[in-house]
Each structure stands twice: as C-alpha cells, then as structure tokens.
Amino acid sequence: MTAPLHATPLDGRVALVTGGARGIGLAISRRLHALGASIVLADSGVSIAGDEPDPTVAQAAASELGARAQAFTDDIATAATAEAAVALAVARFGGIDLVVNNAAILRDAFIFKAQPAAWDAVLRTNLSAAFYVLAAATPRLREQAKAGRAPGRIVNITSSAGLYGNFAQAAYASAKAGLLGLTRVVAMDMGRSGVTCNAVAPFAATRVTEAIVPANGAQTEYKARALKVPPRYVADFVAFLCSAQAATVSGQVFGVRGREVFLFSQPRPRERVLLPEGGFDESEFSVLFTQRLAASFTGLETDLEAFNSDPVV
C-alpha cells in the first residue's frame, strides 16, 4: 500500500527528476508531486538506446501533473543543459531541494564486440549527466542551507548491474558502479550542509524490463517476475529519502523491489594476508592465497541470477 500523503510532506520543496517522464522516473515525479513538491521533469523522450528524442513525452507528463510541474526537454547529459535545468527550477519555483538522477540509456554488447561510441554515450548519459546536474545544483544547495532553507536531498538511481555485473553490460555496469563513487563523495562533500546523497538500485516493470530478450530459461523466469513489480514502490522509497525523516541517511546504497527494501554492503577489506618481509616467494603466496583469500572470493553471479526470486508485492 502507498503511504498516506501526510506521512512525508514535501510542501514547498522543488525537485529535479532526470528521466522523470517515463517508467521509474515518472513514478518518482508523480509521488514527489503528490507529496507537495514542485517538479522539473528533465526528460528528452529518447528511446531505450538514447535515440529519437521526443519533447512531447515530458510535456505530456508535466501537463498530467498540472500546476507545480515543468518539462525540460533538452538532453540532460551536457554541462550546459544540466545547468539550464537547475536554473529553470530556481527561476520557475524559487529554489532547488531534491535532485533525482534517474535518466539512463542502454547499449549492450559483449566486451569483445563493444563499440567505443556506445561506451561514450552510455557513460555520458548514465554517469556524467549526474555529475553535471550535481555540479550545477550543489552550489545552490549549499547557499540555500546557509540561508536557513531546509537541507536538500540527492538520490542517484543506480542498478544491481553496477554491483554484480551482467553479461554484455560493460558500459552500463561501469556507469552505474561509477554512480556509487559519486554518491559517497557527494555525501561527504555535502554533509556539512546537511544535504544527503544516497543511491537506489530499483527493480520495476518498465519499457526496459519489457524489452528484455531472455537468453535462457532462467532469464525468462526473471523477466516474468520483474514484470510483476510496479515502479511505485521505488517512488515511495525515493520520496522517503527526500523527506525530513531521512536527514541522517547518507552515503548508502539501497535496493527496492516491490515491498522489499535492501541495504547493500559496500566493498571493504574482508580478509588480510601479510606477506613475508623482503618480498614473497610465489609458492608461499600461493599457499597464503588459497588458504586465506580464495574461500572469500566473490562469485561471478550476475544480478539477474542474484535476484531471480519471487518479488513481494
């Protein structure tokens, strides 16, 4: 069940949601808006691969929301357009409080067939755009906090693919893993202003889930299960992270799949071996290695395998 509207009021807050006019982004825009926030929906209306921009997608979503919603239809993945989107939020609604970096594209290819141009496009949209938006928004968030406005909230939409990896997703997984580093550093840099920054790996039925072409039985099963999960659960959780109640939650990586909310661990040393003084002998190292480290190696399961269980909705 969706939480009651009075639970996390965002009255007077101004949000920028990239990719906010479709799928998970649209669910987030709707939820933040329903809780009282004004929204800039920054969505160029591109295909899953990032082609064929269509400004009517964001315009339609903004008019559906009505008052307190504004479309921004340029490609968000440049420093200039990111600055323009943030400036639009400030000019139209008087500030910027909530930033949700959600826009992403997919151009999958096995690494041995991958094209540099596809890599560049995915990294630009899925990682650099988040940096550009934050580079534009965070100076304002700091100034506003200094002036006594309630501290802002940043949510970066990552993916379990960035944590586990998945076949043929070198660019996508690298960009999504990059967002985790960005999340940690922004949480640190903005902590003194009271601004939080967290990452959320969503699981939800969208046009992207529908487009999965299963390569085997397990993937067919995964797709059927994933299609059972509406994106509103992710939206509810993102809205919580944007609320005053989440003031002490920062630098964390969550997952949301229906009613399940996961807190992901973050890489830390889990074993330590000390090499002998004066360099090491390979056979000695091999013993240390197999005895002390190999038992703790992380398996090569994909994210689809790791989450191929029935979602709770």
Ligand X SMILES: NC(=O)c1ccc[n+]([C@@H]2O[C@H](COP(=O)([O-])OP(=O)(O)OC[C@H]3O[C@@H](n4cnc5c(N)ncnc54)[C@H](O)[C@@H]3O)[C@@H](O)[C@H]2O)c1
Q: Which is nearer to ligand X, 125 or 144 (CB)?
A: 125
Residue 63 appears among annotated catalytic residues: no
118 lines the binding site for ligand X (CB under 6 A)? no
Q: What is the closest distance, in whole angstroms, from the C-beta atom of residue 245 to ligand X in the complex?
A: 23
45 lines the binding site for ligand X (CB under 6 A)? yes
Residue 138: Cβ within 10 Å count = 21
Q: What is the closest distance, in whole angstroms, from the C-beta atom of residue 19 to ligand X in the complex?
A: 3
Q: Which is nearer to ligand X, 144 or 253 (CB)?
A: 253
Query: What mask, x for binding ligand X by CB under 6 A, covers residues 257 to 286?
Result: ------------------------------
Binding piece for ligand X, criterion CB under 6 A, among 8-16, 38-46, 188-196, 247-255: 38-46
Q: Which is nearer to ligand X, 152 or 231 (CB)?
A: 231
152 lines the binding site for ligand X (CB under 6 A)? no
Task: Point out the catalytic residue in the list 38, 128, 159, 250.
Answer: 159
Which of 13, 23, 93, 137 binds ligand X (CB under 6 A)? It is 23
Q: Which is nearer to ligand X, 177 or 208 (CB)?
A: 208
Task: Point out the catalytic residue in the list 172, 223, 243, 250.
Answer: 172
170 lines the binding site for ligand X (CB under 6 A)? no
121 lines the binding site for ligand X (CB under 6 A)? no
200 lines the binding site for ligand X (CB under 6 A)? no
Q: Go through 252-270 and write b for each residue having 16 or more CB atoms within 10 A of its CB, e for each that does not.
A: bbbbbbbeeeeeeeeeeee
The three-class DSSP label of residue 263 is strand
22 lines the binding site for ligand X (CB under 6 A)? yes
Q: What is the closest distance, in whole angstroms, from the C-beta atom of residue 112 to ligand X in the complex?
A: 23
Residue 160 appears among annotated catalytic residues: no
Residue 113 appears among annotated catalytic residues: no
Residue 313: Cβ within 10 Å count = 11
Which of 37, 46, 141, 195 binds ligand X (CB under 6 A)? It is 46
Which positions are annotated as active-site residues? 159, 172, 176
Site residues for ligand X per CB under 6 A: 18-19, 21-25, 42-46, 48, 50, 75-77, 102-105, 125, 129, 157, 159, 202-204, 206-209
